[in-house]
Structure 1
Amino acid sequence: MNREEALILLRTHVSNKNLINHCLACEAIMRKLAKHFGEDEEVWGLAGLLHDLDYDYTKDKPEEHGLKSVEILNGKVCDEIKNAILAHCEKKTPETTMEKALYAVDPTSGFIVAAALIRPEKKLEVVDVPFLLNRFKEKGFAKGANREQMKSCENIGLSLEEFYTLALEAMKEISDKIGL
C-alpha cells in the first residue's frame, strides 16, 4: 500500500477531522524518527498514518482498538506495520524500534497540539522544546497525554528533549496541513 492509498483508506474509515490530523501528525513524527534512525520512512510513516484506522468502530470498545485496524489492513500492509499498530494500543508488548516509537509518538502529537492551542496565536511556530518540557511537568496540562508513554522514548535511545525536538520539527513541517 502506498501513502495515497493509505490516505484514502484513512478518510474512508475515520470521520473526525481532528483524528485525521492526529494521524497525519503521527505519520510526520514517525517519518522524522525513521530518518533519524536510518529506517524505512515509508513503512514507519504508514504505521503512524494508519494507527487509529479503527477508532470510529472501537471508540466505545477500547478492548478491540488495534485489532479491527489489523483486520482492515490484512493483506494490504506488512506485519511490521500491523505489529506497531497493535503495540501502540498495548495489544502486544512493543519490541522493535518502530513499535516502541509509535507507542511514544501517539500521545506526543496530542500533547504538542495542546501546547499550541493554549498559546494566543494557536500556532505550532510559537511552541518550542523548553515550553513542552515545562508543560510535561504540569500534571493538569493535557491530562489525556500519558506522560509515561511519552517518556518511553528513552526505550529507543532518545531523551525526552531529543524526542520532543524531532516531534516538534516534524509537526511544524506539516503545520499547514493540520491547521496549526
Structure 2
Amino acid sequence: MERSAMIGLLNQYVHEPGLINHCLATGAVMKALAEKLGEDAGLWETIGVLHDIDFELIHGDMQLHGKKGADILIGAGIDPAIVSIVQRHNHMLFSGTYEKPVEIALQAADSTSGLVIACALVKGGKLSDVTVKTVTKKAKEKSFAAGCDRSRIVLIESILPLPEFYAVAINGLMAIREDLGLT
C-alpha cells in the first residue's frame, strides 16, 4: 500500500493529532525495523500506521480494539495478513501469544515510539539530540512516559538486542521527524 493511501485511510477514522502522530511514529519504527531485519518494509510500515485505526471509534472499550480495526480494514480491501496482525495487536486480549517477528515488532514499536518521542520532547523537541543512552536511561524511570509499556518493549529482545532496537527506532523516527513536528 502506498504511504499516501495508508495515511488517507488512517485520516478517515483518526482525527486527533496526537493519535495520528502515534500511528505515523509506530509505522516509521516498524519500517526501520523491517529494513534492519530484511523484512517487507512497506508491509510493516502499513501495519504500524494502521494499527490504531479504530481507537477513536471504540471509545475506550478495549474489548473492541483491534476487532473494529479489522472490520474497517476488511471493508477497505486491505491484505488479510495486515488485518490479522492489526486485530491481534491488542495486548489486553492477546498478551503472551505473539510469536511472529512482525507481531513482536508491533508490540515493541507501539510503546517505543512514544518513549522516544517523549525523550525528544524533554530535549525541546529535538529528536536529533536523542541517543540510545537517553532512551535506555529514561526507560528505567517508570514515571517517565508512563503509558509506554516497558514489558511490551522488551519482547523485541527475542529478535534484536534492546540498545540496537532503540537505535533503529530513533533512526526510523528521524526519517519522519518533520511530520511529527520534531527537529
User: Under TM normalisation by the shorter chain, which class is it?
Assistant: over 0.9
Match of 1:27 in 2: 27
1:170 aligns with 2:145: no
Q: Which amino acid aligns with 1:57?
A: L
Distance in 1 between residues matched to 2:80 and 2:98, nearest whole Å: 14
Runs (5+) with no aligned partner, structure 1: none
Q: Which amino acid aligns with 1:100?
A: I
Match of 1:97 in 2: 101
After TM superposition, the score normalised by the length of structure 2 is: 0.92
Distance in 2 between residues matched to 1:95 and 1:125, nearest whole Å: 33
Q: Which amino acid aligns with 1:135?
A: K
Tell me how large the CA RMSD over aligned residues is: 1.3
Runs (5+) with no aligned partner, structure 2: none
1:54-73 equivalence runs, <5 A:
54-73=54-73
Distance in 2 between residues matched to 1:94 and 1:51, nearest whole Å: 15
Match of 1:9 in 2: 9
Q: How many equivalent residue pairs?
A: 178
After TM superposition, the score normalised by the length of structure 1 is: 0.93
Match of 1:88 in 2: 89
Query: Contact 1:117/1:123 (CA < 8 Å) preserved in 2?
Result: yes
Q: Which amino acid aligns with 1:163?
A: F
**Runs ≥4 in structure 1, deviation > 3 angstroms?**
none
Match of 1:144 in 2: 147
Distance in 2 between residues matched to 1:89 and 1:174, nearest whole Å: 25
User: Offset of 1:160 from its aligned partner?
Assistant: 1.1
Q: Percent identity?
A: 38
